[in-house]
Amino acid sequence: MGRPRQFDEERVIRAVCQEFWAKGFDGTSTADLCRVTGLTRSSLYNTFHSKEHLFRRALSYYVSTMTARQATVLDTPAASGLERVRALLAVIVDEETANRESGRGAGCFTVNTITSIASRNPDVARVVEADLDKRLSSLRLALMDGQLDGSVAADRDPGDLAWYVTSLVSGMRVAAQSGAGRTVLEGIASTGIEALTP
Amino acid sequence: MGRPRQFDEERVIRAVCQEFWAKGFDGTSTADLCRVTGLTRSSLYNTFHSKEHLFRRALSYYVSTMTARQATVLDTPAASGLERVRALLAVIVDEETANRESGRGAGCFTVNTITSIASRNPDVARVVEADLDKRLSSLRLALMDGQLDGSVAADRDPGDLAWYVTSLVSGMRVAAQSGAGRTVLEGIASTGIEALTP
DNA sequence: TTCTTTTTGGAATGTTAGATACAAAACGAA
DNA sequence: TTCGTTTTGTATCTAACATTCCAAAAAGAA
């Protein structure tokens, strides 16, 4: 059977994810990855093949956990369509505030990736594009529900509104990285929601 | 007096700016900079001292030209406050569309910088922070004008609204890098403007 | 135990990075 | 023309980079 692994793969991915999130693909060295995981180069390469594979694993882990969490909020029944979008933005604000206070640094790994390597790496681009499609779909459904229950303006294409909310979220992530705190983010969210009301 | 320069400094800065814009600080090598400028390492280092200095020069050049252009739009008299903000968003859409069609790639150098090295380089962070302050001020003035002339909702703090518009712009930049074309960007802009109306 | 297989530690490899050294070149000033 | 000064081209330096190699270690299977 061979010698067993001395590490937990998901724990390693989590550590790698945080490092790539903070420093980006180009700004992270394999030495950094060894340091934050506690693994040697051998174990890292034996398991994950290359820095780029490891990056994609970390990014996929991030988008799947993030998007799942957000989809859960968006799919909450009972609440109106608008309330579900409002809840999503509240989650974003909470996340950014928590990350800031725990010293993890602000911003979103996905946004950071879109604005850096995604344009130069088709494989990475595919990961973020697939994730974007999922998020747009979830949003679109919630917004259509909102148009049916009367909480969301019915005179706009729900697809356009989904793009708007996605942009708003990205903008809030960038604002957080620019130093915006909870109060400012809450202002952005509550103002941004106004655009959706009938 | 010494030997005269064989290159135009601003032309070099423009070329360097495009390269850093496309690949970021970490993703751009000094060899890349020599290639796009046509200069040797000697001339580059003799004039700009280091890769980091050159990056800050390029970033400063970008933010000053960009923010000046946007301030011009925002300061147009005659038009209402809301119309001036609407005009700003239209400029963003036009820029992104033009960049996309000219193959220059989408997105904003400032946003790319905020989401990558700004958090790890205080000198760079200062440049984007100073620029952010300027943009927020211009926006705030236009929005206050809008509240006075009745085109902008008066029940919100103009500072909060300025942050909202800034986030919206950043979000549109990220959306453009995610593949959003002119139609989608126009939808985001026109939806986003709704949040400002009384 | 012995064999087979896999992981692990650490050194080694080849490449590229940012930055410099230095002499030749190109000008104005004297 | 000669001198002083700055730029330029080439060569070079050291450090860092991603990746590979290989032998020792650790398990199950025979």
pLDDT tens track for A156-195: 999 999 999 999 999 999 999 999 999 999 999 999 999 9
Instruction: Please report whether residue B44 resides in a domain.
Output: no
Instruction: Please report whether residue B22 resides in a domain.
Output: no
Considering only the beta carbons, identify the residue of A118, A119, A188 that sits closest to B164. Answer: A188
Q: What is the pLDDT of residue A28?
A: 98
Query: Where does B62-189 show beta strands of DSSP type E?
Result: none
Which of the residues in chain B have pLDDT under 50? none
Residue A170 CA to residue A38 CA, distance in Å, equals: 33
Q: If you measure CA to C1', which residue is closest to nucleotide D6?
A: B2
Task: Look up the domain containing A96 and give its range.
Answer: 62-194
Instruction: Please report whether residue B29 resides in a domain.
Output: no
Domain count, chain B: 1
Mean pLDDT of chain A: 97
Residues of chain B positioned with their CB less than 8 A from the CB of A154: none
Residue B111 CA to residue B59 CA, distance in Å, equals: 11
Instruction: Please report whether residue A7 resides in a domain.
Output: no
pLDDT band at A81 (very low <50, low <70, confident <90, very high): very high
Considering only the beta carbons, identify the residue of B111, B112, B175 that sits closest to A166. Answer: B175
pLDDT tens track for B104-131: 889 999 999 999 999 999 999 999 999 9
CATH of the domain at B98: 1.10.357.10
> B20: helix, coil or strand?
helix
Q: What stretches of chain A show up as alpha helix (H) in DSSP?
A: 9-27, 30-37, 41-48, 51-74, 81-101, 109-114, 122-149, 158-177, 182-194
Residues of chain B positioned with their CB less than 8 A from the CB of A99: none
Instruction: Please report whether residue A37 resides in a domain.
Output: no
Instruction: Please report whether residue B17 resides in a domain.
Output: no
Q: Which nucleotides of chain D are near protein (any atom < 7 Å from a CB)?
A: 4-11, 16-22, 25-29
Instruction: Please report whether residue B10 resides in a domain.
Output: no
